[in-house]
Chain A
Amino acid sequence: MAAFVLRRLANHLVLAVLGVSLAYLLAAAALDPRAAYEDRTPRPPEAVVDARLTALNLNDRTPLADRYRIWAGDVLRGDFGRTWDGEPVNAELGRRLGVSLRLVLPGAVLGCAGGLLLGAWAAVRRGRTADRLVTFGACLLPAVPVFVLAVLLQMLASRANDALGVRVFVWVGESTPGAPGGVAGLADRARHLLLPTVTIALAQLGVYCRYQRGLMLDVLHADFVRTARARGLRRRSALLRHGLRTALVPMTTYLSYASGLLVLGAVFTEEIFGRHGMGEWLAGSVARGDVNAVAAIGCVAVCGVLLAGLVADVLHGALDPRVRGAA
């Protein structure tokens, strides 16, 4: 198992370095931080803009190779440089990563687990009303993009608030400004988290559910499940211990793909629910031409996708003993 993980790790490391470098080069070549300075009123003198851009390693008149060398040297020392307005990227990155993780993780876990269970359940009840309802929902949900889903949920919530006469649902930001600490503060945060979590969970749920239902149908009548029943296991435990475990194996490869989808969904969720996380930062930074910030976000995204791939490999190995020796 260790050798298997190590080999994958080395492969991933090379890909990560290349991917991150490419993200920086792309951002540095295409984005234009100079325009943001020149748009200021009164317009600063050219020499001042040049000096400022050079100090931040953003000057488009320095050759790209030189800028890349400076940036890569800094990154190796663990410093992502400074943003467009001179703040250190590292501090902002840490803060925003926390916001994003607090936002995305509950929804991702909920959506993944719910989708897998719902899909497996629908497969077991194949052809009945419950299965039809689940299948229809799982077909409809992936067709609804996150930016439509989030706005729809907000509309429903504000209708509900109006109907009830009290603000049951709140969704702007992470917490009410000036909220008390302790248990009341936590409750306030949870209330703010409800709608975005439902958005992210629903966006994941449909896709997981559809795949899992198909995979589960493949194993329902497989020989090993029948053997388990013949050995005297009850239908429930035969399906859970022999059926579900086998049906989960192909899902692990899907996990790394889904993580990319999740990051993308987070961009819209953060924009719409007013969370100052990584996704909102990316959209803003691209619009501002903030090369170092975009490169840092690209770095986190590349590492995140590869990490998800690694987790998928480990899960695959844990569920399926055959891959540990091979691969």
Chain B
Amino acid sequence: MSSKAQITVTLNGEEHEALIEPRTLLVQLIRETLHETGTHIGCDTSSCGACTVLLDGRPVKSCTILAVQANGRQVKTVEGLETADGLHPVQQGFKEEHGLQCGYCTPGMMMTSVALLEENPDPSEDEIRKAISGNLCRCTGYVNIIKAVQYAAKQQQGVGA
């Protein structure tokens, strides 16, 4: 039997402490210990990207990272996107452009999109397609997802100008 590990993780700006088994996956910590269920478990085999979160700003698959590996680090999930000013531009984009049908892939898709726009505020369609190539959607065919990211890029540039 393994000994438990004491960790401190900052989730969406708020510091949490947890005593966990080392084999706990990051997505389990987020959903079952910290009770933020916006992050979905899809394939659970590192193939679909539904569980994408930002770890120190970079999108990663939280089903394939141990929670102990997030000790002392920043995690951002879909719950961290909305601010007092309202929805994040990426969330607005998915709403306005109908970037979802069933919504299962959406939290992961949005986290990847947020990270893309942080790094590249004006991506081409090809760059968007490449960036979301690790996030699978089985409903929309991606057309409206790409429109949603383009909408968000325009919104963010408008705000910045």
- Chains A and B are bound partners: no
